[in-house]
Structure 1
Amino acid sequence: MSKAQDSKRSAIRSYAVGYGLALVLTGLAFATVHWRLFDRGAIWPVVLALGLVQGLVHFRCFLHISLRRSARDDLLLILFTTLIIILMASGTLVILRNLHMRMM
């Protein structure tokens, strides 16, 4: 086999594994909420943890982001983007909570 076919097979295998893991993690999150597999206080942390693991699966299997030196710049860019999104979302939640408290 040629190197092109090997790399194509490797990419398809990576996508298939990522797709399978994404389906399993999504199913676990839905099952956790639907069937209340954990007590009420533990559902949110479990779903959040499953979402974070699914994000890592997407980074590794679909975006092919790894911790090698050649991919560190991509990883830093993604982490910085994630930080900005978290700051924007948390700032929005703080403002909405403040407005809610003022209206009550």
Structure 2
Amino acid sequence: MNEKHDFASDLRTYLVGFALAALLSAVPFAAVALHRPRAQVLWLLIGCGLVQLLVHFRCFLHIDLSEQKRDDLQLILFSVMIVVLMVGGTLWIMGNAHRHMM
């Protein structure tokens, strides 16, 4: 009986996450289709992207702020930090090389 409840609860979480992700993807597209100002669309896109990141963490990856999941969240954040440092450093070096060669 407990497995059915877990399955139903997980299915509900996935469906809510899917609906939120679809809505958060459709809103910036609608803003572009309605020819909103570029700055407004940019801020809307950034905001919807950040909220969608949280939706994916909570609904699909089952990451929350509980003690049990905190290690997973720290691992994900550390991985993101390493990737940002690597990409940022690469762009910085390539930009510097490009500036000195021109």
Task: Classify the TM-score, shorter chain.
Answer: 0.7 to 0.9
In the alignment, structure 1 segments of 5+ residues that lack a partner are: none
1:57 aligned partner: 55
Kindly indicate whether residue 26 of structure 2 is the aligned counterpart of residue 27 of structure 1: yes
Instruction: Please give the per-residue CA displacement for 1:30-89, whole angstroms capped at 9, x wherever unaligned.
Output: 22334332x223433321221111111000000101111011100110111111121122
Matched residues in 2 for 1:31 and 1:41: separation? 15
1:44 aligned partner: 42
CA RMSD in angstroms, aligned pairs only: 1.8
1:11 aligned partner: 10
> Normalising by the residue count of structure 1, what TM-score does the alignment of the two structures yield?
0.84
Matched residues in 2 for 1:68 and 1:52: separation? 20
Correspondence for 2:88 among 63, 87, 90: 90
In the alignment, structure 2 segments of 5+ residues that lack a partner are: none
> Normalising by the residue count of structure 2, what TM-score does the alignment of the two structures yield?
0.85
2:76 aligned partner: 78
Moved over 4 A (4+): none
Matched residues in 1 for 2:27 and 2:19: separation? 12
Aligned-residue sequence identity (percent) comes to 45
